Amino acid sequence: MVKTVRPIGIFDSGIGGLSVAAAIRELLPDEPLLYVGDSAHVPYGGHDDVFIRTRAETLADFLVDRDSKAIVIACNTATAAAAARLRERFEIPVVGMEPAVKPAAAATRSGIVGVLATAGTLASARFAGLLDRFGDGVEVLTEPCPDLVDLVERGVLTGEEAQHRVSAHVEPLVGSGADTLILGCTHFPFLRRLIERAAGPDIRVIDTGTAVARQLRRQLADDELAAGKCGGLQLFTSGDPEDFSLVARRLWKDAPDAASLD
């Protein structure tokens, strides 16, 4: 009997979570990935927790119905609003995101850290808890950036518009003394070159995609769920599949066509 290889399920408010999927692909190249972007409701930062939790449960149900062996919440805002609920509901591993406050606090030389994120993430109890646990002795400056999410959703990763918008968020943080910047949204690694250009060569930029991939690998090993040998990527979206597919191919070489979530 041929054993069915179960996919890793990943969801985000939109297309930005592909940055996390890429980190997972690099660390676990043989694992099949099933990705859902909730593009009809992006960004989550503009919605309340009840709405986000409801959407997260809908997307997780979709992934579980397709026999996912683990769920990765590739969205800081959705993790804050829904991770606990999903872990209560499902027996499979649920791996979430959180802004990299701990490594940033350890890395800063000036004692000032800047966080680029959505308003929902910055206002969450989860983020406040991270500051309480790891932010002692460090000044943390926050910068909500919903317009940067919009850039990535449109596939605008270069050019004058993108650089202008990125610089408008990054330069005030650096000007206030931040020497370490946290990418607190999974969309933002796709703008990393522009962020680093605006910040300058002496500023460290940290994201959490690789850390999430490592945590996923540990959980799969702990639960004896690691499979492999087939790879592959499937894309679904609650938005327009054609638009989603077009942008996905700008972010992920050879990305397949996306299918409608409905």
In sequence order, what are the residues at sequence separation of 6 or more whose Cβ sits closer than 8 angstroms to the Cβ of residue 58?
none
* DSSP tag of 201: T
Q: What SS3 class is residue 53?
A: helix
pLDDT (tens, 9 = 90+) of the chain, 262 residues, equals 345 689 999 999 999 999 999 999 999 999 999 999 999 999 998 899 999 999 999 999 999 999 999 999 999 999 999 999 999 999 999 999 999 999 999 999 999 999 999 988 999 999 999 999 999 999 999 999 999 999 999 999 999 999 999 999 999 999 999 999 999 999 999 999 999 999 999 999 999 999 999 999 999 987 666 665 667 999 999 999 999 999 999 999 999 999 999 7
Do residues 71 and 7 make contact, with C-beta atoms less than 8 angstroms apart?
no
pLDDT of res. 2: 45
CA atoms within 13 A on the CB side of 261: 25
145 an active-site residue? no
* CA-closest candidate to residue 186, choices 11, 4, 9: 11
Nearest CA to 7 out of 86, 66, 95, 74 is that of 66
The Cα–Cα gap between 71 and 83 comes to 10
Instruction: Determine the longest span between alpha carbons in the chain, in angstroms.
Output: 62
Instruction: Map out the domains of the chain as residue ranges.
Output: 8-97+209-260, 101-206
CA–CA gap between residue 206 and residue 185 (Å, rounded): 11
Q: Which of 168, 97, 104, 166 is nearest to 137 (CA)?
A: 104
CB 42 within 8 A of CB 28: no
Q: Which of 18, 148, 174, 185 is catalytic?
A: 185
**In this structure, which long-range contacts are made by residues 192-195, counting pairs with CB atoms below 8 Å and at least 24 apart in sequence?**
194/157, 194/158, 194/162, 194/163, 194/166, 194/167, 195/116, 195/166, 195/170
101-206 shares the fold of 8-97+209-260: yes
CATH of domain 8-97+209-260: 3.40.50.1860
Task: Decide if 158 contacts 129 (C-beta within 8 A).
Answer: no
Cα gap 140→117, rounded to integer Å: 13
pLDDT digits (tens, 9 = 90+) for 36-57: 999 999 999 889 999 999 999 9
Q: Which long-range contacts (CB under 8 A, 24 or more apart) does 21-26 make?
A: 21/74, 21/233, 21/252, 22/209, 22/252, 23/209, 23/210, 23/212, 23/213, 24/72, 24/212, 24/213, 24/216, 25/231, 25/233, 26/210, 26/213
Take residue 138 and report the two structure tokens written for it. Answer: 């460090």
* 172 cis-preceded (ω within 30 degrees of 0): no
Per-residue pLDDT reduced to its tens digit, 86-115: 999 999 999 999 999 999 999 999 999 999
Which residue in this structure is represented by tokens 């959703």? Answer: 153
187: helix, coil or strand? coil
| Set 75, 113, 151, 181: catalytic member | 75
Q: Is 230 a catalytic residue?
A: no
Q: What is the pTM of this model?
A: 0.93
- State the fold for domain 101-206: Rossmann fold (3.40.50)
Hey, what are 105's tokens?
């606090």
User: 3-state class of 182 per DSSP?
Assistant: strand
